[in-house]
Amino acid sequence: MTVLITGGMGFIGLHTVEAFLNAGENVVATYRETWRMPSFLAAHLDDRLSFEQTDIGEPGALLAIARKHHVDGIVHMAIHGTAQTDPGYDLRVNMDKISLLLDAARDAGVRRISLASSSAPYFGVAEGPFREDQPLPIDSVISPEAFKKAWEILTLNYAKAASIDLVNMRLSGVYGPMYASMRNLPSRLVHAAVHDTAPDFSPTSGGVPYADDAQDLTFVKDIARGIVLIHNADTLAHRTYNIGSDRATSNAEFLHAVKQVKPSFNAVLEPGRSPRYKPNAYDDITRIQSELGYTPTFTAQTAIAAYITWLEAGNAQ
């Protein structure tokens, strides 16, 4: 089988490509501008892996790729990117791209389309654990939360009308090799420890984190494996699945995990909890566990150790 992965050069996309290759699949992945080739994929080029440079917002582009490579499944990892200052333009770009994707899946006759959502739909929920079937507020705190909720509703409506097998995957926060933006704390701590520098706790990065603040952050290899399990399942009982670590890991735990590998590293966190603290802030993964046998294989300690090893081996972000 051949799976088409949009956004294959993205952080999660690269690891998802690897996970499908490890599962014995042929993969064609799209990218728009950025090209990077990690060592864990380089050996597969021109064998079971190919890349196509394209703008998925161009009408007919994805359909042409799907037909060229005889694609029988699509995993949508591409994102629009930073919200535009013009909300009308932002809305049109986001909705046009998702509609073109759905049209391509329909016209190519793929077996399944799996859409990468995130835990953003839960941002307006006061406390966890966050479950796929719980009611979500109509109002949204941030733009990605609004778009993710809208996409999930609209894509499922389209799939029903077009008789497409479609599933939404709500991915928790993610960290690990090839992550470039440094928005999450474990990545900032790991890079600082490896390069023997102070972590970036500047106001632009959110300031000094609170030690007891905790959230569901999952190592990227586990996220990618969960995506493969969902996409390759013969049948699915639900249309939405969480993929996460099944726990809220505190900032203090991540700092401790880094110091286990780099004892001389030090960073000072604010004690206690911030005003933004949410109890049990993690994504419940009962569905994917009970139906598909998914269990995270990395703990915070083993994930941080693997992340540090990757960077110290001279690999890129």
Q: Are 157 and 53 members of one domain?
A: yes
230 inside domain: yes
Query: pLDDT class for 82, splitting at 50, 70, 90?
Result: low
Q: Are residues 86 and 187 in the same domain?
A: no
53 and 16, same domain (yes or no): yes
Model-wide pTM > 0.85: yes
Query: Percent of the chain at pLDDT above 90?
Result: 81
Is 68 in the same domain as 182? no
Whether 104 and 12 map to the same domain: the answer is: yes
Look at residue 316 and tell me whether its pLDDT is greater than 80: no
Return d(Cα 100, Cα 62) in angstroms, integer. Answer: 8
Q: Is residue 26 in a domain?
A: yes
* Tokens 């090799």 -> residue: 177
277 shares a domain with 161: no
Examine the domain organization and report whether 166 and 179 are in the same domain.
no
pLDDT of residue 102: 97
Which region among 71-85, 126-140, 167-181 has the lowest average model confidence (pLDDT)? 71-85
Residue 287 lies in a domain: no
Q: Residue 43 above 90 pLDDT?
A: no
CA distance 140 to 138: 6
Confidence at 288, pLDDT banded by 50, 70, 90: very high
Residue 88: which pLDDT band, with cuts at 50, 70 and 90? confident
Q: Does 189 map to a domain?
A: yes
> Does 258 lie in the same domain as 230?
no
**200 φ, ψ (degrees, to nearest 5):** -80, 105
pLDDT tens across 105-127, in order? Answer: 999 999 999 999 999 999 999 99
Asked whether residue 293 is assigned to any structural domain, the reply reads no
The reported pLDDT for the residue numbered 180 is: 84
Shared domain for 37 and 57, answered yes or no, is: yes
Tell me the per-residue pLDDT of 179-197, one tens digit each, with 9 for 90 and over. 988 889 999 999 999 999 9
Q: Which domain holds residue 212?
A: 174-216+247-282+298-312
Domain count, the chain: 2
> Mean pLDDT throughout 205-232?
97
